[in-house]
Every structure is written in structure tokens, then in C-alpha cells.
Amino acid sequence: MAALASPSTERSRRIRVGSTDAAGGRQVRADLERQIARLERRHAALVAAAWPRAELLAELAVPQARGRGPRLASVAELERTRDELIRRVLELERALDESHERERQMRELRRRMFEDPASCPGALVTNRDCGEPGCTRYRVVPRLGLLGLALGWWRVKVSSGCPLAEAPVGAELSPR
């Protein structure tokens, strides 16, 4: 028959297993805090780099913690925080890389539109698609309307300003 451990033996074993020496615990905590600080700086730099891309920032928004006042986080909580920051930084880097690639492709399409409009009929590229400021739109349209469409005459139409204010999505327009 197996001998049962006495409560005092069990308690002392738990204390020994769960505790570390003070210097080692401080060192682990300091290392984790340095890693978290570095990751937070990297995350902030990536958010700043993604700034004009509002849709990208909305997708990757960090949920706000509620009901948590000031406290000293345990080593396990610091590790979870570090791991979550690593995940967010990697996700943001991936999303930015994809966004930069899409913008590069749209700039290439815009260049091709000007070189040979007939090769991309109906194409539409905006400055926003290219990651550039402004509201300019580039559209390949037939020259002279239906005649140009039938004869394959194409040109690039550049709209050089912001469109008139539009009603918000889902808003009812009042009849006049």
C-alpha cells in the first residue's frame, strides 16, 4: 500500500517547486519586460507605417482590456503578453507586406494603363489603391463613346479631385 504524503510535506514540496530564488525571478521578469518593451516599440512602428491604411488598422485592432487596474503581472502573464505581442507583430508585418504587394501591383497596372490603354479596358485605379494620398482616379474608357468601344480606341481618363460628398452607406436619400 502506498504511503500518503502528510499535508506539511505536500505543502513544502509545492512551495519549493513553485518558488525560485529572488535574483533569478527578478532576472526572468526583467528579461520578459525588456522583450515586451521591444515588441511594443516594433508594434507601434508598424502601426505608424500602416497609418493611411485605415481598413488594415481596423482589421488588426487590439481589444481593450476592461476591469483591470494597476497590478504586478506574474511571470506567466508576462510570457502570455509577450507571446500575444509576437503574434500581433507577425500578423501586422504579414498584412503590411501583402498591402505593399497589392499597392505595387496597382502602380504597375496604372503604368501599363498609360503605356497601352487598349491592353486593360475598363481598368480603374485610385491613389488609395496605390498607397498614395489624394482622391485621383485613373480609368480606361473608350474614346468617343460607343464608336471608340467598337473600334478599340481607348484612353485614360484622370479624375483629379475628390468626388462630391456621398450619403453614408445605408442612408435613405430624401426625394425632392
The domain limits of the chain are 27-59+76-159
pLDDT the model gives residue 104:
95
Which uninterrupted H or E stretch holds 147?
Answer: helix 146-151
E strands, 17-153, in order: 124-126, 137-142
pLDDT the model gives residue 1:
45
pLDDT the model gives residue 102:
93
Q: What angle do CA 100, 101, 106 make, to 5 degrees?
A: 95
* Residue 123 near residue 113, CB atoms below 8 Å: yes
Q: Which residues of the chain have pLDDT under 50?
A: 1-19, 176
Q: How far apart are CA 140 and CA 161, in angstroms?
A: 17
- Contacts for 50 with CB less than 8 Å, ≥ 6 apart: 56, 57, 92, 95, 96, 99
pLDDT the model gives residue 13:
42
In the numeric block, the cell 521591444 is attached to 38
pLDDT the model gives residue 15:
37
113: three-class secondary structure by DSSP: helix
Which uninterrupted H or E stretch holds 155?
Answer: strand 154-159
pLDDT the model gives residue 66:
60
* Residue 117 near residue 157, CB atoms below 8 Å: no
Q: How far apart are CA 100 and CA 49, in angstroms?
A: 11
pLDDT the model gives residue 159:
87
